[in-house]
Amino acid sequence: MITASSQKLGLSKGRFRRAALSFARNCAFLLILCVFFSISSRYFLTFSNIENILTSSSVLALLALGSVFVIASGGIDLSVAAVMALSGVVTAAVYRDNPELSSWLALLICASVGTLCGVVSGILLALTRAPSFIISLGMLSVTRALAYIVANGAPIYDLPQNVTEWGQGTVLGVPGPVAIMLLALIGSYLILHHTRLGTHILVLGDNSFAAEAMGIRIHNLRTKIFAISGALSGVAGFVFMTRTNAGDPTAGQNYELMAITAVILGGANLFGGKATIIGTVMGVLCLGVLQNGLNLLAVSSYYQVLFVGVVLISAAMLERFEDMA
Amino acid sequence: MKKILLFAAALILSAFCLSAASADSGEFVFILKGRGNVFWQVVRNGIDETASERGVSAVILHTDDDQTPEAQLNICLTSIARKPKVIVLGAATRNVGIECFKKAAAAGITVADIDGNVTIDEARAAGVSMAFTVTSDNYGIGKLAAERLAQIASSPSPRVLVIKGLPGSIVSEKRARGFVDRLRELMPGALVVGEPDAYWDRMKAMNTTLDVIQREAQLDYIFSVSDAMTTGIVEALKITRKADRIKIISVDGLADARKAVISDRIESDVAQLPYLMGKRAVELAIDSAANKMLGQIEYVPTPVLTKESLLANQSPYFKYLR
């Protein structure tokens, strides 16, 4: 006899099975890439190269972590890279004129600018009821233009050393960008998987009518989601700025697409309701390992782009087989 | 209803105001690339200031970046409708350049190139008479960089990395080819360990350099075909603490790269003098509008900037450094 509780157990078992399969797929993919490059290049599996992969992937990982929340809720945020650029430029401009300021303030400014942009996106969504694709596309143009205006079109170079230490130094032996990425990963994981906010986000993505029926205030929730995305984009801007020692209005062109790619590669459903933080980071690492490995093998840029495309299509096919299983 | 009418009236009034403001058709139109690219911004400054000095009307238009040929073609077609005397184009691709020139020439507009993405011969082969091209000798730039390396190299067989720009970019390829060909002539024992593309992007150049350093622990020199990427390479060497060991030779000679040369973060920089390029483009455009000009090629000098030469302010071309 099927009772409500056994039904519930059946649903949980099914979801757990799908999540486990998705995790296993991500691991397998990453493992295959690592094994392939370890065999092809003796420089791949070294401590310094692994550290290099993690550091190089940190900016994209932060953007992807922000994108997870938006995609999980059934939306999309195309402005993440432009917000990242604006955050970096505003902060660099502040430090150009005030180099004596504490470096913690740089992180705060970046995150604040990003959060503000996210809140504006959320409010615009609530006011216009337009698709997030349209609003975020508009915000992409606005924030990118603001970045050019603040920077007067040119990168702002030569930040104080106490600021660039974050991107070029280490924290307890861990590269600064990796430490920031890990903290963001832990925070994002806890929010999405262990808070009511996270549950509401997934419910919204799964079924917005059900979310509304449950009493969830959709517009408030969307504003919070975009604020989180904006905040993480701002932190990504901080890492980008401190790594490259410049606030650059052209930073991150097309990174938004890579961030979305990493989220989908990690097993998220583009239409919402399904996303994992660990999967997303695995997606980012797959892209990072691929890029690093191809550079180590000195593969031509034309073929690098081809390989990335093939990997993405393969990942999509694997997910399809997994859904059919 | 009242609000709609008021809004419509405001819109119509704005349209008339804008129309009045842009009534000047601009005798000379300069269509450039990369709004965010410092090189093109300096070219723009050269055009702006020279046009002001000479009292001519110059309209300067940019694409968003170096990789939007279709957008540039649209800008060109729109510019033709304004019926300027001369259109000077920094073509995103050769094909777009030729397409733009054909349409402009058919409308009786004089056409010219800046930065050498369309050569006189290529235009002629497509049936277009170009008035002039003002450019740097990109192959020559590569050769100068190789000669500088040969001058400073402490061993006869250095290991060298070449960081190129956008895959397939003519400018990038010519610089890289000029460098590699000349290096092989001067230092047959030198080894070019790779020629990866970094898409004119700072972060990509940085990450690519970090990756290559993993396999090339004995790398001696990096030749970067543009300052925009070199700034990322400088940071990569700083992070890996190899700035003392690996020397960088760059191209463009932009302001921040010059600072880096003076502070020993870049060994030397082959300057393109984009300000002078913009200046000469205006002067030649004025001349071509007054007298029919056909197929004039002007190469802008490319001095090699070193710490010593910058501090001594040696070259007469340094006044064009911006």
pLDDT category at B205 given cuts 50, 70, 90 is: very high
Flag whether A121 is in a domain.
Answer: yes
Task: Calculate mean pLDDT across residues B186-205.
Answer: 94
For residues A263 and A68, the answer to whether their CB atoms sit within 8 Å is yes
Q: How many domains does chain A have?
A: 1
The count of residues in chain A is 325
Quick check: do B26-136+274-300 and B138-271 share a fold? yes
Cβ–Cβ contact A40 with B under 8 A: no
Cβ–Cβ contact A3 with B under 8 A: no
pLDDT digits (tens, 9 = 90+) for A113-136: 999 999 999 999 999 999 999 999
Q: Inspect the interface and report whether the beta carbons of B207 and A296 lie closer than 8 Å.
A: no
Maximum separation of any 2 CA atoms in chain A, in Å: 73
Q: Which residues of B touch A155 (CB under 8 A)?
A: 38, 202, 231, 256
pLDDT of residue B14: 65
The identity of residue B101, as a single letter, is: F
Q: Inspect the interface and report whether the beta carbons of B167 and A301 lie closer than 8 Å.
A: yes
pLDDT of residue A10: 41
For residues B120 and B295, the answer to whether their CB atoms sit within 8 Å is yes
Those residues whose C-beta lies under 8 Å from the C-beta of residue A26, and which sit 6 or more positions away, are A265, A266, A267, A278, A279, A282, A283, A286
Distance from CA of B252 to the nearest CA of A (A): 15
Residue boundaries of the structural domains of chain B = 26-136+274-300, 138-271
Q: What is the DSSP letter of B92?
A: S
Those residues whose C-beta lies under 8 Å from the C-beta of residue A318, and which sit 6 or more positions away, are A25, A29
Query: In Å, what is the CA distance from A158 to each residue of A108, A125, A301, B46, B225?
Result: 19, 38, 30, 25, 21
For residues B228 and B37, the answer to whether their CB atoms sit within 8 Å is yes
Question: Which tokens belong to A197?
Answer: 């906010």
Flag whether A217 is in a domain.
Answer: yes
For residues B162 and B194, the answer to whether their CB atoms sit within 8 Å is yes
pLDDT category at B24 given cuts 50, 70, 90 is: very low
Those residues whose C-beta lies under 8 Å from the C-beta of residue A262, and which sit 6 or more positions away, are A60, A61, A64, A67, A280, A283, A284, A286, A287
* CA–CA–CA angle B16, B20, B24 (5° rounding): 145
Q: Which residues of B touch A291 (CB under 8 A)?
A: 207, 211
Cβ–Cβ contact A291 with B under 8 A: yes
pLDDT of residue A21: 75
Flag whether A191 is in a domain.
Answer: yes
Report the phi/psi class of residue B132: left, alpha or beta, with left for phi > 0 and alpha for psi in -120 to 50: beta
Cβ atoms < 10 Å from Cβ of B311: 10
**Which among A246-260, B230-244, B291-305 has the top mean pLDDT?**
B230-244
Does the pLDDT at position A3 exceed 60?
no
Cβ–Cβ contact B201 with A under 8 A: yes
CATH of B138-271 among 2.40.50.100, 3.40.640.10, 3.40.50.2300, 3.30.160.60: 3.40.50.2300
Q: Inspect the interface and report whether the beta carbons of A154 and B238 lie closer than 8 Å.
A: no
Task: Calculate mean pLDDT across residues B25-30.
Answer: 79
Q: Which residues of A touch B203 (CB under 8 A)?
A: 59, 240, 243-244, 251-252
CATH of B26-136+274-300 among 3.30.450.30, 3.40.640.10, 2.70.150.10, 3.40.50.2300: 3.40.50.2300
Task: Calculate mean pLDDT across residues A138-153.
Answer: 93
Does the pLDDT at position B75 exceed 80?
yes
Q: Inspect the interface and report whether the beta carbons of A158 and B259 lie closer than 8 Å.
A: yes
Q: Which of B41, B203, B215 is opposite residue A296, by nearest beta carbon?
A: B215
The ipTM, to two decimals, is 0.71
The identity of residue B138, as a single letter, is: N
Residue of B nearest to A58 (CA): B207
Domain residues for A186?
60-275
By CB neighbour count within 10 A (0-12 exposed, 13-18 middle, 19+ buried), where does B193 fall? Answer: middle
Distance from CA of A129 to the nearest CA of B (A): 21
Flag whether A136 is in a domain.
Answer: yes
- Classify A275 as helix, strand or coil: coil
What are B248's strand-pairing partners?
B222
Task: Calculate mean pLDDT across residues A179-201.
Answer: 95
Cβ–Cβ contact A148 with B under 8 A: yes
Q: What is the pTM of this model?
A: 0.80
What are B110's strand-pairing partners?
B86
Please choose, from the candidates A132, A117, A108, the residue with its C-alpha nearest in 3D space to the C-alpha of residue A82: A117
For residues B215 and A294, the answer to whether their CB atoms sit within 8 Å is no
Q: What is the DSSP letter of B164?
A: B
Q: Inspect the interface and report whether the beta carbons of B214 and A52 lie closer than 8 Å.
A: yes
Distance from CA of B113 to the nearest CA of A (A): 24
Rounded Cα distance, A84 and B50, in Å: 36
pLDDT digits (tens, 9 = 90+) for B5-16: 776 777 777 666
pLDDT category at A190 given cuts 50, 70, 90 is: very high
% of chain A with per-residue pLDDT over 70? 92
Q: How far apart are the first and last CA of chain A?
A: 26
Rounded Cα distance, B266 and B236, in Å: 12
pLDDT category at B23 given cuts 50, 70, 90 is: very low
